[in-house]
Amino acid sequence: MNFNWLRRPRRNRSSSQVRDLIQETSLSTCDLIYPVFVKADIDQPEPIPSMPGIFRHSLDSLIQECKEIATLGIPAIALFPVIDPAHKTAEAEYALNPDQILFQALKRLKKELPELLLIADVALDPYTSHGHDGILNAKGEVDNDATVALLQRLATVEAQAGADWVAPSDMMDGRIEAIRIALDNANLTETSILAYSAKFASAYYGPFREAVGSRAKSSSDYLDKKSYQLNPANRREALLECQLDEKEGADILMVKPAGPYLDIIRELRNQTLLPIAAYQVSGEYTQIHAAAQNGWLDLEKTREESLLAIKRAGADMILTYFAKEIAQKLNRQPLI
């Protein structure tokens, strides 16, 4: 039986050639940022059990990993330090120690791989004994302004060590403007700020916290950071945070996590002319791997669909632990 339908949308899906011609969203290596971990006093990379294929790198193995990343065409890495608990204190003094591993890594990477864009995390949780992203006051609460003062200094030293972008991930009020002022006063006007603008108090950060060791010292439970990270239920509040960061001088706005917050990425895309980054976080990576290991999902197809969804929602760049393997595949064939 033949119907005389005027519109038959399946014509535009009839062959691979047609599908390729009309594909609306695509992913390239230029869209990817690879998060990497660096740790002092180790000789070999340490596997992270909850993140298959991801390692805590020694300085030497980090350099080798980043050389491969650059060869694959990935333009940027986001660097996260793993700090020995012996160096952690309530006031996070070690964050500014000139010999700490983050500064060593930035200096060496900038010297050996000047073409690779270096993004440095601006946060105190790697350095605090309590695991919070800030300094605590006498009541045990995160002191916003004392924290911002220290973040200004940390961002400045990171930029002086070689960071091209500094990325404040703490969610303190006013920190973007304060960091911009500090950078400019230090004649670092070329250093960009990638703002974690809509960072939610998410359950998806667990594997990352294991990787950097930022759980509460006295407990295996993850810290409650709801007094500074966003309520997952709040859309308008997330957009307000993004508006404030833009006014305060952010160069790029970020939504984190990515997959569970595609609606935020889409609304932010409609609201701002600034570039948007999205962080496909450790929990998103881990759950795809876990399901694939159990035979419940196809690893390659699921990871690629998840990244295309983030791009389709409006992200210009994606921080993802899949970056390396995606780039390896893209160098062989385009993603369909």
Query: Ramachandran region of residue 319, left (φ > 0), alpha (ψ -120 to 50) or beta?
Result: beta
Tell me which of 199, 225, 311, 324 is the catalytic residue. Answer: 199
**219 exposure class (CB count in 10 Å sphere: 0-12, 13-18, 19+):** exposed
One DSSP character per residue, 116-176 reads SEEEEEE-STTTBSS--SS-B-TTSSB-HHHHHHHHHHHHHHHHHHT-SEEEE-S--TTHH
- What is the identity of the amino acid at 129? S
Contacts of 101 by beta carbon, 8 Å cutoff, 6+ apart: 38, 39, 40, 59, 81, 82, 83
Task: Give the angle subtended at the CA of 332 by the CAs of 327 and 336, to the nearest 5°.
Answer: 80
Does 67 qualify as catalytic in the annotation?
no
DSSP code for 107? H
Contacts of 70 by beta carbon, 8 Å cutoff, 6+ apart: 113, 115, 116
Does 301 qualify as catalytic in the annotation?
no
Tell me which of 225, 256, 311, 324 is the catalytic residue. Answer: 256
DSSP code for 265? H
Tokens of 108: 């060496």
Which residues are annotated as catalytic? 199, 256
